[in-house]
Amino acid sequence: MSKRFVVIWFPYLRTDWFTRRKQILKELPFVLTVPDHGRQLISASNPIAREQGVETGMVLADARAVIPSLQVLDDRPEISHRLLKGLAEWCTKYTPFVAIDLHGGLILDASGCTHLWGGEIRYLEDILTRFKNLGYHTRAAIADTIGTAWAMAHYGKGPLIIESKQQTAALMSLPAEALRIEAETVEQLYNLGLGRISGFIGMQRSALRRRFGRSILQRLDQALGNEEEIVEPVQPVIPYQERLPSLEPIITATGIEIGLQRLLGTLCHRLKQEQKGLKTAIFKCYRTDGRIEKIEIGTNHPSSNSTHLFKLFELKISCIEPGPGIDLFLLEAQKTETVSPLQEKIWQKTGGLNNIQLSELFDRIAGKFGNDHIQRYVPDEHYWPERSIKPALSVNEELLREWKTGRPRPVQLLSSPEQVQVTAPVPDYPPMNFRYKGKLHKIIKADGPERIEQEWWLQQGQHRDYYYVEDEEGRRYWLFRAGHYSDSSYQWFIHGFFA
């Protein structure tokens, strides 16, 4: 399939940006200036100023002489790139492949995209009207090669849609600088009377190379399509991406749901055919006012189950602000992994942690509240009760060591031990009674002590002597004494409840 490229050129990029922020400037001649050797040099001028003869590179004082009412603003040359990047990202609604042209424009790879807008004429018209509504002056051309499209956008007259394989005819009448060659070479060409491309396009290649260097040949080849031009897209190409333009702007949640369901349907069908499952996906809604609303989801297991993925998105649909309406939906699977369908069947039969439905449940909970709300514990190599367990890194992490079963452990553990008052007459024997939350508990039976030492490499402090005690009503507690009985600084704590 032959490629088709669109080059969009913004002749008044920065002045348009200033005009967008200050609508009044639309009617007035104004220029942007940068200081240069103690004078103000014009770095950009708006269409009205340019019409009256104020060009880029003039000194401000000269320009003032031409137009006394000239408005002057300080230029911010650094915004150009950022602005282009933003516009390029916005343009990804037209094609996934958008690159920035360093001459103040954008390059779109429109291959296979134009039919979605009903042909190249409509596609181009749509782009131009959108930018016009945003307040940007643009010129755009569509051709088989970037070189020809660029030349036509900058210097072309007449139709800006170059039919396939018509590059040579289109380039003929254009000036030499339309080939994006160095100013020096251009000057040389002009001096020799070869100001038009038609003047040298038919020359022998060896003669051209000898006189003007290799670059002119390369540029010619790129423009004619004999050599491929490589440009770097703003966003890396994502293979799993589906888009759905809508005829009329959508503002209801139901509309968004229908769009999402359709996109999920096609994407999941494709994933299933390729035996893949998605791990993260992003759903973008392009609003008519140029804003992009997006929601993201993630899964534990790679999934290609559209109902499950829809449920995950469903929780977040309410976050989308449709504003004046959404005219394009885009669904991307950013991270995919290979899954074998055989494996899924085995999982579905057995219970356990690898169950697909279970991981789908965790996805839903994590999608709503965040991943840190789901906790699974595995044993850790510590005796200190608080440190004896640690959260598992993943839901299906394997156990590295066995659970210790020797000593009694309470069913409920207080998050931090609470101090209690006790009566303990005999050293190293369990207390007679203790007062907890104002209630006196008389201890009838007891087990212990179980001494747990501080792990000095982690924390300094006193050891704990744990007692498993039962009061007269049969309630069972876990008490400990921090420190030796002989020390004056010992204290008693309650740390948990037994079943």
Partner 1 sequence: MTKTKAEIIFELQKELLPLQGFKHSLGIGAVDTGLGPIRYSFPNATFPVGAMHEFICTGPEDGAATAGFISGILSSLMRNGGVSLWISSSQTIFAPSFTHFGIAPDKIIFVNVAKERDVLWCIEEALKCDGLASVIGEINELSFTASRRFQLAVEQNRVTGFIIRNKPHNLATTACIARWKISSLPSIRVNDMPGIGFPRWNVELIKVRNGKTGCWQVEWMGRKFRHVNHIVPFIREVPLVNKLIS
Binding site for partner 1 (CB under 8 A): 350-353, 355-358, 360-362, 364-365, 368-369, 373-379, 385, 388-389, 392, 395, 399, 403-405, 408-415, 424-426, 429-433, 442-447, 468-470, 472-477, 496-499
What are residue 451's phi and psi, to 5 degrees? Answer: -85, 130
Residue 362 CB, nearest approach to partner 1 (Å)? 8
**In terms of CB distance, is 66 or 413 closer to partner 1?**
413
Q: What CA–CA distance (Å, rounded) separates 352 from 374?
A: 16
**In terms of CB distance, is 117 or 383 closer to partner 1?**
383
**In terms of CB distance, is 355 or 462 closer to partner 1?**
355
Contact 212, 203 (CB under 8 A): no
Q: Which residue, 69, 55, 80, 66, is CA-closest to 27?
A: 69
| CA distance readout (Å), 463 to 207, 414, 428, 453 | 92, 18, 13, 4
Residue 339 CB, nearest approach to partner 1 (Å)? 17
Residue 352 CB, nearest approach to partner 1 (Å)? 5
**In terms of CB distance, is 137 or 376 closer to partner 1?**
376
Residue 455 CB, nearest approach to partner 1 (Å)? 17
What would the two tokens of residue 449 be?
């002590």
| Chain position carrying tokens 């007062």 | 435
Q: What CA–CA distance (Å, rounded) separates 116 from 238?
A: 19
Q: What CA–CA distance (Å, rounded) separates 54 from 72?
A: 12
What are residue 295's phi and psi, to 5 degrees? Answer: -130, 145
Q: Which residue, 304, 238, 298, is CA-closest to 267?
A: 304
**In terms of CB distance, is 158 or 425 closer to partner 1?**
425
Amino acid identity of 358? L
Contact 448, 430 (CB under 8 A): yes
Residue 316 CB, nearest approach to partner 1 (Å)? 15
What would the two tokens of residue 159 be?
């139709």
Contact 154, 178 (CB under 8 A): yes
Residue 378 CB, nearest approach to partner 1 (Å)? 5
Residue 358 CB, nearest approach to partner 1 (Å)? 4
Contact 280, 297 (CB under 8 A): yes
What would the two tokens of residue 443 be?
């201890």
Q: Which residue, 292, 272, 301, 293, is CA-closest to 366?
A: 301
**In terms of CB distance, is 244 or 374 closer to partner 1?**
374
What are residue 312's phi and psi, to 5 degrees? Answer: -65, -45
**In terms of CB distance, is 229 or 470 closer to partner 1?**
470
Residue 439 CB, nearest approach to partner 1 (Å)? 10
**In terms of CB distance, is 143 or 356 closer to partner 1?**
356
**In terms of CB distance, is 143 or 366 closer to partner 1?**
366
**In terms of CB distance, is 286 or 467 closer to partner 1?**
467
| CA distance readout (Å), 405 to 17, 389, 409, 414, 427 | 70, 13, 9, 20, 28
What is the dihedral angle through the alpha carbons of 149, 150, 156, 160, rounded to the nearest 10 degrees?
30
Residue 386 CB, nearest approach to partner 1 (Å)? 10
Residue 355 CB, nearest approach to partner 1 (Å)? 3
Q: What is the largest CA-CA distance in the chain?
A: 115
Residue 363 CB, nearest approach to partner 1 (Å)? 11
DSSP code per residue over 103-137: TTEEEEE-TTTGGGGTSHHHHHHHHHHHHHHHT--
**In terms of CB distance, is 104 or 367 closer to partner 1?**
367
Q: What CA–CA distance (Å, rounded) separates 326 from 19?
A: 26
